[in-house]
Amino acid sequence: GENVEQHPSTLSVQEGDSAVIKCTYSDSASNYFPWYKQELGKGPQLIIDIRSNVGEKKDQRIAVTLNKTAKHFSLHITETQPEDSAVYFCAASSYSSASKIIFGSGTRLSIRP
């Protein structure tokens, strides 16, 4: 079955700098890659996703890139702000797996003032 690895487990960046979180997946059939943000005491919230027919997607300060050949995908956050502090999860799924999403282990991002 699918396995998703996520690095780093913790990340601390200066406010205003960029943050990058990387994930790899094992199942070449995976074609949907969401990213979730989890704030303290809350459930995960979908912040951006990418499908396998595109290589990059942007939404304001957040971007996701996908390299299907290498089975890598990454989350990029630019101009980080204090409210970006949270745990971020990458995930992978394929339509053939009937919407079952496999999550990475999470990255705790801290923004230093």
Element (H, E) at 73: strand 72-77
The nearer residue to other proteins, 52 or 78, going by C-beta atoms, is: 52
The nearer residue to other proteins, 8 or 16, going by C-beta atoms, is: 8
Tokens of 112: 């230093």
The nearer residue to other proteins, 71 or 78, going by C-beta atoms, is: 71
Q: HSE (CB half, 13 Å, CA atoms) of 7?
A: 4
**Minimum distance, C-beta of residue 43 to other proteins, in the bound complex (Å):** 4
Report how far apart the first and last C-alpha atoms of the chain are (Å, whole number): 41
**Minimum distance, C-beta of residue 69 to other proteins, in the bound complex (Å):** 22
